[in-house]
Amino acid sequence: MSIIKIKASKGKINKANQFTMVHELRNPLTNVILSCDYLLEEIKNKNPDKETLSKSLEIIARNCSRMNQLIVDFVQKGQESKSLDNSINGILEESLFLASDRINLKKVAIEKSFCIDKSVPLSQHDNFRIAFLNIIINAVESMETGKGILQITSSEDKLSYSVKIADNGSGIRECDKTKLFQPFFTRKIGGLGIGLVITRNLLLEVNVSLHVKSKLGHGSEFTIRFKKKNTIY
């Protein structure tokens, strides 16, 4: 391989890493912005609710710490982040925890059904954590506040494991389905259009497939499926 091609490949990798970092930082940053909006509205009241103020400040503090940790992890790139439970179900739970502030702000109901053996490990868990988190955040953002239901299931058959993340949100237009994984395509106001691109690329790195079903006005379902023989990545 020529020096020019090597440099081009490194450039693509660096750009992909930057996009991932930007997107990961944006999730907690959005939580901070939403909480600040809540605070600004609440303090306009003559008798602001102390519990609301306290919860909003806790969310801001927690997500600022999260952003700081992301920056530390990025600087120390190459060291996989430490996870207490690197099983499929454990990483799903961790992703839900990381999305919990957004879930609570949008008042989304969670329905979980984990049917995979708890001992099944994933060594490259950062890929899965980021992918699961991106899909969960997208699902939460697609649902109306107070009316959303997020369903997360893990299952297995003789040959493979599957994770399904489904929502009852706005769904995807038929004409947009072929554009979902195109960089910078988005219909969200203020969106960057890189979340699903990052998700797909992270899963492709570990030979995992991603399938999408969606109906406009009825919600979407994302299925991550991988063979059992490739479980320990």
Query: What are the tens digits of pLDDT across the range 86-109?
Result: 788 889 999 999 899 999 989 999
Burial of 132-171, coded b for 16+ CB within 10 Å and e otherwise, reads bbbbbbbbbbbbeeeebebbbbbeeeeebbbbbbbbbbbb
Over range 110-138, report the average pLDDT.
Answer: 83
Residue 232 has pLDDT above 70, yes or no: no
| Averaged pLDDT for residues 154-171 | 92
pLDDT tens-digit map of 69-83: 777 777 666 555 555
Q: Are 95 and 137 in contact (CB under 8 A)?
A: no
User: What is the share, in percent, of the chain residues with pLDDT greater than 70?
Assistant: 76
The mean per-residue pLDDT over the stretch 194-203 comes to 82
pLDDT of residue 119: 63
More confident residue, 83 or 59: 59
Phi, psi of 73 (to 5 degrees): -60, -40
- Strand duo 219-227 + 209-215: pairing: antiparallel
186 and 193 Cβ atoms separated by less than 8 Å: yes
192: which 2 tokens? 């960057």
d(CA 154, CA 96): 14
Q: Which fold has domain 1-78?
A: Helix Hairpins (1.10.287)
Quickly list H helices, the chain.
Answer: 3-42, 50-75, 88-98, 100-105, 125-142, 195-205
Architecture of domain 80-233: 2-Layer Sandwich (3.30)
Mean per-residue pLDDT over the chain, rounded: 80
Alpha-carbon distance 205 to 89, whole Å? 20
17 pLDDT above the threshold of 70: no
pLDDT digits (tens, 9 = 90+) for 132-141: 999 999 999 8
- For the chain, give every domain's residue range: 1-78, 80-233
- Residue scoring higher pLDDT (17 or 55): 55
- Judge whether 171 and 216 are in contact, CB under 8 Å: yes
Distance CA(40)–CA(38), nearest Å, equals: 6
> What pTM, to 2 d.p., does this model score?
0.71
pLDDT winner (highest mean) among 11-15, 50-54, 80-84: 50-54
Given this model, what pLDDT does residue 218 score?
A: 92
Highest mean predicted confidence (pLDDT) among 11-25, 83-97, 205-219: 205-219
If pLDDT is split at 50, 70 and 90, which confidence band does 187 have?
Answer: low
Q: Which two tokens stand for residue 53?
A: 């103020």
Residues paired with 226 in a beta bridge? 161
Quick one: tokens of 209?
């497939």
Question: Which pairing describes strands 160-167 and 209-215: parallel, antiparallel, or unpaired?
Answer: unpaired
